[in-house]
A and B are shown apart, each in its own frame.
Chain A
Amino acid sequence: ETGVTQSPTHLIKTRGQQVTLRCSSQSGHNTVSWYQQALGQGPQFIFQYYREEENGRGNFPPRFSGLQFPNYSSELNVNALELDDSALYLCASSLFGGSLYNEQFFGPGTRLTVL
């Protein structure tokens, strides 16, 4: 069984730039969720993708967008980066409709620094 992987591990960008973060879901999973974890805080839900469509969104502006591909991998795109976007971005996968649907498996995260 392959776990959730994320790339890159670390990223440094400047204000106003755009960034793309990538996630490969755990083998057998079909749903991907993205979370933002600021320093000293718990993870905050950004959005979730299922069947290549957004399936729920948290309180994040439209400049946060995503994609899910037929192989269930996913991308998180952030446009017009702001200093407050500096955080650890976590991807989590789960199996929609499975008996343990609510269990999410997390990746190691991508640390984004915006200067």
Chain B
Amino acid sequence: AQRVSQPEKLLSVFKGAPVELKCNYSYSGSPELFWYVQYSRQRLQLLLRHISRESIKGFTADLNKGETSFHLKKPFAQEEDSAMYYCALSHGGATNKLIFGTGTLLAVQP
């Protein structure tokens, strides 16, 4: 079964500390992985996708097919990074449905 797991409901760090939000997935084919972010009072928006191999707002994520992981990392957290982060999987094809994890709330303390 296709599944996305985010083991941490809440991650609290101090400003300037490194951040790693964990995401593991189960999927038999070649999935496309995403990180979506939801800031307070804003809609869900795409942060980054693995095929782009970009760094957005200082965040990066590497797809590790051996460990079936797609962890989100940032070397120095900022207060404005505080938000809800969702890892999602899409198997593409005719239906580009997204399978989401339960989300991790990142709280960056001053």
- Measured in the bound complex, the distance between the Cα atoms of B96 and A35 in whole Å is 13
Rounded to whole angstroms, the CA-CA distance of A78 and B103 in the bound complex is 26
Q: Chain B residues near A33: list those with CB within 8 A.
A: 96-98
Q: Mark interface residues in A101-115 (1 if CB within 8 Å of B CB, else 0).
A: 111111111000000
Whether B44 pairs with A55 at a CB distance below 8 angstroms is no
Contact flags B32-54 to A (C-beta < 8 A → 1, else 0)? 10100000000111100100000
Cβ < 8 Å to B, chain A residues 37-84: 40-45, 48, 55-56, 58
B102 within 8 A of A: yes
CB-contact partner of A43 in B44, B46, B49, under 8 A? B44
* B-side contacts of A48, CB under 8 Å: 95-97
Closest Cβ neighbor of A88 among chain B residues: B44
Q: Please indicate the chain A residues that have their CB under 8 angstroms from the CB of B98 in the complex.
A: 33, 35, 43, 45, 92, 104
Given the complex of chains A and B, what is the CA–CA distance between A40 and B10 in angstroms? Answer: 11
Chain B residues with Cβ below 8 Å from A30 are none
Q: Specify which of A42, A55, A103 is in contact with B102 (CB 8 Å cutoff).
A: A42
Say whether chain B's binding surface is mostly helix, strand, loop, or mixed.
strand
Q: Is the CB of B43 within 8 A of A107?
A: yes
| Contact partners of A101 in chain B: CB under 8 A | 92, 96
Contacts of B43 in A (CB 8 A): 4, 106-109
Let me know if B70 is at the binding interface, CB within 8 A: no
Residues in chain B within 8 A of chain A (CB atoms): 4, 32, 34, 43-46, 49, 86, 88, 90, 92, 94-103
| Between-chain CB contacts (< 8 Å), 22 pairs | A4-B43, A31-B96, A40-B102, A41-B102, A41-B103, A42-B86, A42-B103, A43-B86, A43-B100, A45-B98, A48-B96, A55-B95, A58-B97, A92-B98, A101-B96, A102-B32, A102-B49, A102-B90, A105-B45, A106-B45, A107-B43, A108-B43
